[in-house]
Structure 1
Amino acid sequence: MLVVLAGLGLVLSSLQTGAHGVLGSAHFLLTSVLLLVRRSRPVPVAGAVTALDVIGIAAGLVTSASAPEAIAFYSLARYSSGRPSLVMTVTGMVAYGVVMEIRGPGIGQFAAGAFVVAIPAGVGALVKARVELNERGRRTAADAAVQAERRRIARELHDVVAHHITVINALVGGARATLAPEQEVTREALESAQQTARQAMSEMRRLLHVLRADGNDGPDAATGVGADRLPALIGEARSAGLPASLTVTGEPVTLPSAVDHAVYRIVQEALTNTRKHAAGARASVRLAYESEAVEVEVLDDGVPQQGGAPGYGLGGMAERVALCGGQLSTGPRPGGGFRVHARIPLEAT
């Protein structure tokens, strides 16, 4: 809007006034045009407007600082910070003070010139501080809401899920105690179920600790699972009736926490899906350490069972891999079975 008014002023000046008025209008138009980039380039714009105003006042084209000057220094304080902004503000105050003193000697001329910079810059700084304070308040409120929701979920998990797992564990233990000595196979299956229930309770406690924590280490920071626990996970799968194998290639290295947890959870979810949806299948897990990435692949040779509601496992895998900057591919294998493959770059975490 200011540019349009300045342009109209230049046209009217060229029709009604002499060369001096045209130059003054051209000066106003030029300083107004500079304001179009004041948000993205606040320091250069303030410097250019100051230079043009000083030249214009010294040459008698304008008598004092103009509206573009006030907008430029307001924008300088509003959209920039640090030493460049401070240096430009002080430079502008000195420049306007000196040129006003030279142009019209008198008491307070220097102070008046400095104030034409200090006032809009001060207003811009106050507005910026207020916006930042409001934004900080919104972030604090949002964080508090997230923490409250996490604590609510933790209470629900403790009161409902953990209770049922404890009951299951007790029932399985009671069933084992009533078995005849010759029922060894059933006893081993129940023992495996009881161990799985105990492990579920252990992971549930760690998960509750994470949900109740106020830190920013991520949702898996305290779960204590990672690539080094894959052999135990494979053993648990075998105990549950799923023939599974693990192959590790490359030189094992300490993985970043997010990647380490993602690798474990991908394998855990893939093996769970195989047990649920491809009864009688065999599974193989390959973990490959490379110089710039880690790859994990889970293959099975089962035939998927038809029916059943889709779960959230594959979506959860994709989210974990995406958060680590990696790529995930899942789908049926050409020769039958299912494949889950993830490649996660190490430098992106």
Structure 2
Amino acid sequence: MKALDDIFVLDLSRVLAGPWATQILGDLGADVVKVERPGRGDDTRGWGPPFLTDPETGAIGDASYFLCANRNKRSIALDIVTPEGQETIRALAARADVLVENYKVGGLKKYGLDYASLSQINPRLIYCSITGFGQDGPLAGKAGYDFMIQAMGGMMSITGERDGLPGSGPQKAGIALADLTTGLYATIGILGALHQRERTGRGQYIDMALLDTQVAMLSNHAASYFLSGKVPGRLGNGHATIVPYQSFPTADGHLVIAVGNDGQFARLAAALGHPEWGSDARYVTNAARVANRAELIPMIEAETVKHPSAALQATLEACVVPCGQINTIDKVFDEPQVRHRGMKRTVAHPLAGELPVGASPLRLSESPVSYDRAPPTVGQHTAEVLREKLGRDG
């Protein structure tokens, strides 16, 4: 049994936020049917290199960007501009539990594929729209992309090296954080709506905005601003309210040291040869360490730089001080813990044979995630889905 194996998801979304949400639903067992433009498909199929290639013929396939967000789905090719394509989507929506789309505000209304239209033929439908700025407000009609949302939503103002140091200035996150977190929140909303439907028998509309999600993700920084009235700034790899909680130079690189309480700091101080720091009034509490960050951090750096990263990590782990080396992506997947947890899987793919994919972090004891389908080729399952869902031959 799979957690969502009785749920049919009609996926009209493209690029990342929507596909990320529907991939999670597919991982949990939902039957996800991705609707794509004939020929081209999802834009991210071409967002490379790198591209998947046939090991025997060298034929070029989809970009890695598409492959990361579209496993456990079937693809059908339909042109929603045509009356025939619109009618087919309406017929599928009449049978669907969930529909996910990320067209611009009002973009599907002219085709009769908006929530108001489809809920008339399927009152149980849960319809999730994902846009940059939401369905209402002064910016509702504006296109929104992850990079600009990280800027507008405050993320970049608190990310990057602090002013006055080399390389200072606002930075975006290294991943499409606004897209991915919106996909996660969309999934949560869909699951909540499915639960609600069990009690009411009716579906509902979900309005997801990248900007809303990014603002919500400000979390402790927003709370700090509300409480103090002070605008948070950039601290590089430092932490606004915990010290020491950052990367430190070592003899051969850097090591992240993440001290979460006063006992851990006392053990860190002793391990670095300065047990007196642990009882010094300037550093004995976290609040005191935050106040005296400017003098404490250089003192710690002067000690950590004397040791190789691996040796210092071993020393600190022995006295239970949280720490970790900064891995490149290749080293991430060589980490024994990552390998043990199976965070790299393979799925059978028609072009590549065996395709490696990043695994889901979900661990459900009674309905585990499975990796049944590779990311599909454009329209790979059109005939199969139309026959199965609508009784049509093509």
TM-score band by shorter chain is: under 0.3
Greater C-alpha radius of gyration: 1
- TM-score, normalised relative to structure 1: 0.20
Give the structure with the larger helix fraction. 1
- TM-score, normalised relative to structure 2: 0.19
